[in-house]
Chain A
């Protein structure tokens, strides 16, 4: 398995180089550039000003020259400055945006998995019962409802309707990251303040995650339950609980593991719509804004980070299969 892992790691190097080239090319193919944004609406700007600014931002060079420059700098550990924020792009991503994203997405993944896996199992073992129908219907609704709509409804309900109805006793803030409580109020007050701001986006993000994972878990369990080895186990007279949790669940978890493995890079990438609706300053919003404002270094750092995480977690997932399913061997 170690040889297999080592070979896969080596394969990642050319793959990531190609990815970086493609990202740079696609970003460069976008119409317009940062200088257009600076110059539009300013009739005083001269062709000389435009040429000067393009040279300052390196936009007077063809894209491949700029890419080679970026690559050379990147290999030396310099991933450039954010043109919009005047700080290193790495600092912007890793210090200012990623912690916010992880604060939102990691609890969402953990909590939704903890809720969805038992619900999926429950739904599967009581197939076609009333609870199964209810759960299936609810997860279908939660899965189908557009996030921006559910988010907007939640905002109005928790930030306007409930405070009005309860005289302000029950209320959740409509977006933002917190900070109403000064640090001197103590860590617990600060944490509670943060939690209040986290509650709504977390809830909305979890809603969809729970719906998706429940449906997968249910389907996976149902498929495993019809397998021969489950019938054999039952025929041997093993207790139903043991059949379910020892034999069926372990196999049913393989596809769930795949989904989770592939969703981990997404945790770092943020949830664009949720972050947008709740003005949560995370990675998803940062990537979108950087693409729109053509803050190339931020785009490169964030998309390359996601690429690295994707290939790494694909490898981790593949290796995890062998742990979960003894039939899989990488030798």
Chain B
């Protein structure tokens, strides 16, 4: 019978997906290099999305940005005493701590209880100098003390601003400890960092690769097969403790990620009904708009407001920048007032990617909506150019002191959306007498060590790219003076425009240690006003994340807070199989 069923499916050319066998097939354009590397030595979005199916969080963040307990019994807060802030005599916060109690029924997929030792193990490895984690913030200042078999406290000294919003991970100590000890012994006296890293690769490779799938998991699904370059399948973990309404048998039992690197091929897969949903890492915006026209109730296309901010950095610190007044806020304001961003987002994105006037995401609690609105205002822009002494030459290009206002405008070559934006803006700037020469570079050059960070050398005037920021953790880091890349700091930091505002810097430092949210909001309000008045970057729009899913698939949703549709994996299911819809996609 099975053979007949398989053959029928084969002849009909349909994937064995959907409600018929209560499974879910997700298409994505990226393959994670490895899965369940608890120390995230690669920081790819697809890794986090896939890991969410398999790793439970102590405390999670839902679509509204609210915290919910998963491994923990409750969310620790100031009100319930779980979150504590310790101040000195002067009233400054000197350390803070969060106490978590693990749910009694929280267990690994092999049935072993999740204990504080698993969190201690994770933190020990995270902070080990031999482990190539990208950064250790805030864990390098964190210590775990165990109260009893279910309860532990994590203390941050110096204090961490978002201590109540983050939680440490758990790694299965009973599974990984022996291998970790072997790594420890093999690298104890090893001075060569590369040799140590190879040992690390061997250690982590025992638990995270296609040939060595994770031995145990804490999340609602466990990996069952990974065919490199093709697909990764996960099945429901019977030992997962949270049970969806009506029983887990009414929800998806198997999730398969299909890796389809070519996004056009991914689009054809959507059209041909081979996949039930697209991952948050998949379609381009254009393709999603195009798919929307062909949906015909076979699938729905969603555009989820995101936290990715498209903008144009203005180089304010090269000799050329000074010659062309790019270091004067009025010039940057004039450049921004000369372009019609509303028309741009309507023309290219059907208005689904909203224009921004601010670097802070509107979803953030510290967002200031009262910053200056830079709607197209050519008269005002021309007035500012005139104030600065720029007058149209015989060819219509603005001139001053024998110099013409000609700017080089770069972005990542091959990104068709950005290239189209460039062409529209180039034309709009031409109307006011600013000549913009497009000069694009491959992403490896653009983001490489010799381009953006070398603004002082005048390698670019305008640079268009995007930043991703979680709205919860916004603290204005992108524009701090310490972040200006210079030879002295080894060209680290990401304040590429080189904007340096003393008041902003002071407020930023103050906000970093302001633990009272209402007071921090006031500081951040002023920082955003300062930034908006001087616009060191020309804000364009916040990107929306497009994806598709077929009707009837419920609880496959996300937001700029939860970030990935896998955040509530245990409740993903088919309405026709009895799954109850709890989260609606906004």
Contacts and interface: CB of A to CB of B under 8 A. Distances in A.
B268 interface: yes
Given A32-B447, A169-B12, A176-B260, A184 B2 contact: yes
A210 to B, nearest CB: 23
Interface string B186-214: 00000001101110111011001111000
Interface size class of chain A, counting residues whose CB lies under 8 Å from the partner chain: 35 or more
B489 interface: yes
A278 B7 contact: no
B239 interface: no
Contacts of B260: 175-176, 279
A155 to B, nearest CB: 5
Nearest to A277: B262
B261 interface: yes
Contacts of A32: 444-445, 447-449
A155 B37 CA distance: 36
Interface in A36-58: 36-47, 49-53, 55-58
B377 interface: no
Interface string A291-315: 0100000000000000000000000
B229 A180 contact: no
A282 B467 CA distance: 33
B173 to A, nearest CB: 20
A138 interface: no
A86 interface: yes
Contacts of A44: 135, 137, 477
Contacts of A55: 193-194
Contact of B448 (A31, A41, A177): A31
Interface in A2-57: 30-33, 36-47, 49-53, 55-57
B208 A86 contact: yes
A87 B205 contact: yes
A282 B230 CA distance: 10
A177 B208 contact: no
A206 to B, nearest CB: 19
Nearest to B452: A40
A185 B4 CA distance: 8
Contacts of A132: none
B416 interface: no
Given A46-B492, A174-B269, A40 B201 contact: no
Nearest to B488: A47
Contacts of B266: 279
Interface stretch (A189-197, A241-249, A251-259, A323-331): A189-197
Contacts of A91: 211
B132 A52 contact: yes
A160 B268 contact: yes
B274 to A, nearest CB: 6
A213 to B, nearest CB: 27
Given A43-B477, A184-B2, A189-B3, A174 B132 contact: no
A84 B268 contact: no
B526 to A, nearest CB: 20
Interface string B454-494: 00000000000001100000000110000100000110111
A245 to B, nearest CB: 42
Contacts of B272: 159-160, 163, 171, 173-174
Given A38-B43, A47-B490, A176-B230, A279 B259 contact: yes
A168 interface: yes
B470 to A, nearest CB: 12
Contact of B205 (A49, A51, A86, A276): A86
Given A160-B272, A168-B13, A281-B228, A85 B34 contact: yes
Interface in B126-177: 129, 132, 134-137
Nearest to A282: B229
B345 interface: no
Contacts of B250: none
Contacts of A286: 229
A86 B33 contact: yes
Given A42-B134, A189-B3, A281-B229, A175 B268 contact: yes
A281 B230 contact: yes
Interface in A46-79: 46-47, 49-53, 55-58, 60, 69
Contacts of A184: 2
A46 B448 contact: no
> What band does the interface of chain B fall in when counting residues whose beta carbon is under 8 Å from A?
35 or more
B271 interface: yes
A52 B493 CA distance: 16
A175 B265 contact: yes
A272 B570 CA distance: 38
B12 A168 contact: yes
A280 to B, nearest CB: 8
Contacts of B228: 85, 92, 96-97, 281
Contacts of A39: 134
**Residue of B134, B137, B478, B483 contacting most chain A CB atoms (<10 Å):** B134
A324 B447 CA distance: 54
A163 to B, nearest CB: 6
A39 to B, nearest CB: 6
B3 A52 contact: no
Nearest to B229: A281
Among A52, A57, A96, A170, residue most surrounded by chain B Cβ atoms (within 10 Å): A52
A184 B362 CA distance: 52
Interface in B386-402: none
B83 to A, nearest CB: 22
Contact of A292 (B200, B258, B444, B450): B444
B447 A36 contact: yes
B204 A49 contact: no
A156 interface: yes
B281 to A, nearest CB: 14
B444 A56 contact: no
B379 interface: no
Given A177-B227, A179-B227, A84 B33 contact: yes
Given A43-B477, A96-B229, A193 B135 contact: no
Contact of B6 (A80, A189, A285): A189
B235 interface: no
A38 B13 contact: no
Contacts of B16: 180-182
A140 interface: no
A84 B492 contact: no
Contacts of A214: none
A255 to B, nearest CB: 35
B10 A186 contact: no
A84 B467 CA distance: 23
B209 A87 contact: yes
12 contacts: A30-B444, A38-B42, A42-B134, A56-B197, A58-B193, A85-B228, A176-B230, A177-B229, A180-B16, A185-B3, A281-B259, A286-B229
The 7 closest A-B pairs by CB, nearest first: A281-B229, A171-B13, A32-B448, A55-B193, A185-B6, A58-B194, A174-B268
Interface of A: 30-33, 36-47, 49-53, 55-58, 60, 69, 80-81, 83-87, 91-92, 96-97, 100, 152, 155-156, 159-160, 163, 168-182, 184-186, 189, 192-193, 196, 276-279, 281-282, 285-286, 289, 292
Interface of B: 2-3, 6-7, 9-16, 33-34, 37, 42-43, 129, 132, 134-137, 193-194, 196-198, 200-202, 204-205, 208-211, 227-231, 258-262, 264-266, 268-269, 271-272, 274, 442, 444-445, 447-450, 467-468, 477-478, 483, 489-490, 492-494
